[in-house]
Each structure stands twice: as structure tokens, then as C-alpha cells.
Amino acid sequence: MFHFRVAADGPDPMVVRFEPLAWEVVINPGDHILVEWPDSHPGPELCGMFCHEPGRLTVLEPDFLPLPRNYARVWNSSGEEITY
């Protein structure tokens, strides 16, 4: 498993968009989310990608094998799962 934390450290909310499902989570200033990606098979064509812009982080999830796909699980800072 691959785990990472996304925090909104600035004065404005941070929007985190998960692709390919176009699902968004808004993180209020001073708050965070925890993300867990399931295991995937290695290879450059299977890697996830991140694109950071002011106030926004886009997460392109890796292609997981075997099918069906397993998407990321997300928890808010209170420990409640908010996965789509």
C-alpha cells in the first residue's frame, strides 16, 4: 500500500481531484486528508501522477491490475472514510 497526506496549509481551501473518476474533496485551511492507494504491479505505464497548482492538487491514480480496478481510499482528519 502507498499512503500519503494532503494538507491545506495556506489561507484558502485546497481542492483535491481524483482522476479518472473526477471526484473532488475540498480541504479547509489547516485541515488534511489521508489517502491510501492499493498495491499495483510495477511499471512506468502503471504509475500514478500528481499535478499541483495553487489551491488544487490533481491525482491521477495508477492503473491497477488485475481488473476490476481498485481506487484510492480517503479519510478526513477525524478518521472518517470519505471514499467515493
The whole-number pLDDT of residue 49 equals 85
36 found inside a domain: yes
- pLDDT score at 40: 61
Low-confidence ranges of the chain (pLDDT < 50): none
Strands 56-60 and 14-19, by their bridges, are parallel
**Is 45 a domain residue?**
yes
pLDDT confidence of residue 48: 76
Please, which residues have CB within 8 angstroms of residue 22's CB and are 6 or more apart in sequence?
none
Position 71 in a domain: yes
In a domain, 81, yes or no: no
Q: Find the domain containing 50 and state its range.
A: 2-76
Domain count, the chain: 1
pTM: 0.82
Q: Per the domain annotation, does 23 fall within a domain?
A: yes
